[in-house]
Structure 1
Amino acid sequence: MTRILLFVLLVLVLGAGFTWLADRPGDLIVTFAGMRYELTLMAAASALVAIIAAVMLAWWLIKSIIRSPDLLRRHFRARKRDRGYQSLSTGLIAAGAGDSATARRMAGQAHKLLNVDQEPLIRLLEAQSAMLEGRVDEARGAFEAMLNDPETRLLGLRGLYLEAQRAGEHEAAQHYAGEASLMAPHVDWARGAVLGRLTVEGDWDGALKLLDARKATRAADKAAIKQERAALLTAKAISTFDSDPVTAKTVALEAHKLAPDLIPAAVIAARAYFREGDLRKGAKILEAAWKKNPHPEIAQVYIHARPGDSALDRLKRARHLFALRANNPEASLALAQAALDAGNYKLARENAEAVLRMSPRESAYLLLADIEEAQTGDQGRVRQWLARAVKAPRDPAWTADGYVSEQWAPVSPLTGRLNAFEWKVPVEQLAPMIEAGQEVRGDESETLNAPAVIEQKPLVVPVEEEEIPAPARLKPPKREPANDTRDDEEVKMLVVDDPGVLPEEQTETKQARYRLF
């Protein structure tokens, strides 16, 4: 477009010049070699323009003749390159479609028409065609050849990693993934493989260094890295809680600061405070986390806050949690459990039945079986609650990629994905357990209908099944007598200022409950 405008502009200038000369007639006299030449200005200008055009045309012809061999070579080279790229494109499409014969033929044509050193995709096509035909050694050789070129080194490591995994050579696969993660920390497949190995080995510092290296790249998602770092710090705090409580506290507080919504981070940070005797700060962390997301682990640590407390003291803390998030299934379930431990069977039954009205679940029926055993000892009613627990929807659990675990973990054991565990019901509830508006009472349990729930099996349940003891062999557990002289209203809104963590040796001696899985 610019050349066209310049040409038009030149024509306009020449036209204006000739017009100007035509309006001003004159003669031009030239004496050369004893000869005198006389001509008009218009003829002289026309002759000058013609001479210039003839010189330019002659120069173009001479230059074209001189450059013609090179132009021919470039033309044939371009045709050859175009044919090579067409063969390469057709071969890659055939390899993606699984046509090994076409892919092999196109790879040979591309290898003849193109320079392998200048076009690394030829090696990729050769490797893919070899993989389709089962020629593992040739495919591995092609990937190893890619390691010599900086542009294809990462691609070669990826191919060797996949081949090593397919052959079951896990150490070699980890070696290739480690080199790829050092070269490109933002690549998910390499980072995930290395993080999976480091977490299995418990090398939390190495995993954090790898995460920091990824953070330095521009393509990194800062929010996702913050969550992943919080998960790794939480895992490190949990693993070092018994051996190095001071470091565990520092790491846990950092993790809780990065991800206040991460339940395990809040729990381990509070336990670290409780272990040092700073019960008020630990309770504050748990209460803040409980207000955002009520969770049974928070309730367990909060209620069993101080070692040596009586069942009534634990009931006070459960009441306080219930006051923070009333009409919540987790709050009602925690209060019912604490009331059962304290021997307040009426309060325990009311809250367990409230859980059934809000969110029917297996643990609520098992808890009602415990209450029935402790309060009446009626084995028939106990068996009835246990039978309903079998068909009830499962309780929420830590789930990652279909894997169900009772304990939180920083990475998925199936895919190695970091921060993959979520607290949710493993099996989707397809129908309501109890009709809306139906009131559940312990003395009218025979009016309950069987739960209309379609049973589904989880993908993986990494918990050993325990045999349910026969009801005839069960003995009513000993309970602490409820203090009838104390008014419930006096302890309803107790302000908790000294929670702590029940030591592991005391939690192990806690009375066993009914459980199905």
Structure 2
Amino acid sequence: MVRILVFALIVLALGSGFAWLADRPGELSLVWQGQRADMSLMVAATLLVSFLAAVMLAWWIVRVVLTSPHSIQRYFRARKRDRGYQALSTGLIAAGAGDASLARKMNARARGLIRADQEPLIHLLEAQAALIEGRHDEARQTFERMADDPETRELGLRGLYLEARRLGANEAARQYAERAAEKAPHLPWAAEAALEYRSQAGDWDDALRLVDQTRSTTSTDKAANDRRKAVLLTARAGGRLEADPRGARDDATHALKLSENFVPAGLIAAKAYLRENNLRKAASLLEQLWKGQPHPEVAKLYVRARNGDSASERLKRAEKLEGLRPNNVEALIAVSEAALEARNFHLARDKAEAAARLSPREGIFLLLADIEDAETGDQGRIRHWMNQALKSPRDPAWTSDGIVASEWMPVSPVTGKLDAFEWRAPVSQLDGPVEEGSANPAEEAIRTLPPIAVTAAKAEAASQPVAEKVQTIHIEPAQKAEKKTSDKTAEDKKQAGSIGEEKPFFGGLPDDPGVKGEVRKEAASAFRLF
């Protein structure tokens, strides 16, 4: 386009010049070696332009003749290179498609048309063809040559890394990943692999250094980098909690700044505060964490934050958590467990049933079974809640790659992936579709709860007159010691009056056949302790 424009400008200038001369006619006389030549100015200008054009044409012809051998050679070289690149492209496509024979054929043709030191892709095609045919040793040797070349170093290291992973040589794979991350930290695969290996080895300082190094070179967004750094800081804080609570607290609080409401970091920070006897800051941090994400481990640590608290005091702390997040399943469970420890069975049952209505799951029904066992001891009702627990979904836990852990871990023990554990319900079985209009399992369980079984002793006591019931009434634990003392005094007096008379037996084992004769009659009229 530029050449056409320049040519048009030259033609326009010549035309304008000739037009200007035509409007101003004149004569031109030239005397040279006794000869005189007279001509018009227009003819002289025409001869001058023609002479210049002839000189330029002659120079072009001479130049073409002189440079023709090189031009011909360059033409054939370019044609050969084009054919080589065409073969290389076809071979790479064949290697990607899995056609080993065509890839090998195109590799040989490309090597004959292009020099390997000028085009590194020939090494890649050779390695890919060897991998397809199963010649892994040759492919590995090719990748090693590529790793030694600065132009193909990253490609060769990646090939060696993948081969080491395939063979299970984790240490070799780690060396290749570390080498690639050192030479080219902007490579995502190298940074990820090196980070995983350092995390598996527990080298948190080097892992954090690598994250800071790759923060500005990789294309990963800021949120993902902050989350990754928060996980590493939390892992380091967990390892330093016992020996260095202050350092663990600093790491955990820094992790909370990077990833808000990260429960493992908040728990470690609160434990560090508690080890420093700073209950106020620990409670404030746990309350803030609870507001963002109610978690059972947060509730457990908050309720039992202070050693020596009574059960009623722990119940008050659990109720405070419920006030922060009302109508929440985890808050209801925390209050129910604290109420059970405080022997407030009515409150424990109400909160547990409310939690079951919101989220019927295994742990809540087991809690109801514990409440039933502590309050009534009715085996039928206990088995009812246990049966509901067997049919209900499992409680949320720290899970990763099919593994359920008792506590959070920074790295998956199966794949070695960083930040793989999630707080969710483990997948135990495929749940069937829920029918529309079906009743809540908790409501159904509460509705079908069997009544408290009436024992034979209770039935006998109910049929006795009031005067006799006084003798068979159930004695509360606080009155048992006093009753036993009076019984012992009576027995001593009886033994002093009649030495030969047998002493009645009380409080035998459930399967004790008892005593015979007159002793059994005497025991029937005595107070029943059990």
Query: Per the shorter chain, which TM-score range?
Result: 0.7 to 0.9
Residue 341 of structure 1 aligns with an amino acid whose one-letter code is E
Which residue does the alignment assign to 1:127? 127
Q: In angstroms, what is the RMSD of aligned CA positions?
A: 2.2
Which runs of no fewer than 5 residues in structure 1 stay unpaired?
Answer: 448-479, 482-517
Which residue does the alignment assign to 1:14? 14
Indicate the structure whose relative CO is greater, using CA pairs within 8 Å and at least 6 residues apart: 1
Which residue does the alignment assign to 1:410? 410
SS at match of 1:308: coil
For the pair shown, the structure with the greater C-alpha radius of gyration is 2
Bigger shift: residues 213-222 or 231-240: 213-222
Residue 444 of structure 1 aligns with an amino acid whose one-letter code is R
Per-residue CA deviations over 1:270-327 (Å, capped at 9, x if unaligned) read 1111111111111111111111111111111111110121111111111000000011
Residue 256 of structure 1 aligns with an amino acid whose one-letter code is L
Matches within 5 A, 1:211-222: 211-217=211-217, 219-222=219-222
Aligned-partner Cα distance in 1 for 2:361–2:252: 32
Shift of 1:11: 1.1
Which residue does the alignment assign to 1:24? 24
Which residue does the alignment assign to 1:444? 447
Matches within 5 A, 1:458-477: none
Which residue does the alignment assign to 1:232? 232
Instruction: State the identity as a percent.
Output: 55
Matches within 5 A, 1:431-510: 431=433, 435=438, 440=443, 444-446=447-449
Aligned-partner Cα distance in 2 for 1:36–1:402: 111
- 2:276 paired with 1:276: yes
TM-score by length of 2: 0.80
Which residue does the alignment assign to 2:421? 421
Per-residue CA deviations over 1:140-197 (Å, capped at 9, x if unaligned) read 1100000121121111111111111212222211111111121223433333333333
Matches within 5 A, 1:70-85: 70-85=70-85
Bigger shift: residues 212-221 or 110-119: 212-221
Aligned-partner Cα distance in 2 for 1:46–1:221: 71
- 2:66 paired with 1:63: no
Per-residue CA deviations over 1:432-488 (Å, capped at 9, x if unaligned) read 5994678738863349xxxxxxxxxxxxxxxxxxxxxxxxxxxxxxxx99xxxxxxx
Which residue does the alignment assign to 2:243? 243
How many positions carry a matched residue from both structures?
A: 449
Aligned-partner Cα distance in 1 for 2:272–2:154: 43
SS at match of 1:152: helix
Paired residues of 1:256 and 1:269 also in contact (CA < 8 A): no
Bigger shift: residues 42-51 or 171-180: 171-180
Structure with higher helix content = 2
Bigger shift: residues 200-209 or 434-443: 434-443
- In the superposition, relative to structure 1, how do residues 88 and 370 fare at CA in structure 2: closer, same or farther (>3 Å)? same
SS at match of 2:332: helix
Aligned-partner Cα distance in 2 for 1:351–1:198: 46
Paired residues of 1:157 and 1:180 also in contact (CA < 8 A): yes
Which residue does the alignment assign to 1:194? 194
Paired residues of 2:147 and 2:157 also in contact (CA < 8 A): yes
Residue 357 of structure 1 aligns with an amino acid whose one-letter code is R
SS at match of 2:38: strand
Which residue does the alignment assign to 1:351? 351
Which residue does the alignment assign to 1:47? 47
Shift of 1:409: 1.7
Which residue does the alignment assign to 1:256? 256
Residue 347 of structure 1 aligns with an amino acid whose one-letter code is L
Aligned-partner Cα distance in 2 for 1:390–1:185: 51
Shift of 1:87: 1.1
SS at match of 1:151: helix
Which residue does the alignment assign to 2:365? 365
Bigger shift: residues 319-328 or 104-113: 104-113
Which residue does the alignment assign to 1:184? 184
Which residue does the alignment assign to 2:167? 167
Aligned-partner Cα distance in 2 for 1:192–1:367: 43
Aligned-partner Cα distance in 1 for 2:395–2:351: 16
Per-residue CA deviations over 1:216-243 (Å, capped at 9, x if unaligned) read 4263533322211111111111111112
- In the superposition, relative to structure 1, how do residues 278 and 435 fare at CA in structure 2: closer, same or farther (>3 Å)? farther
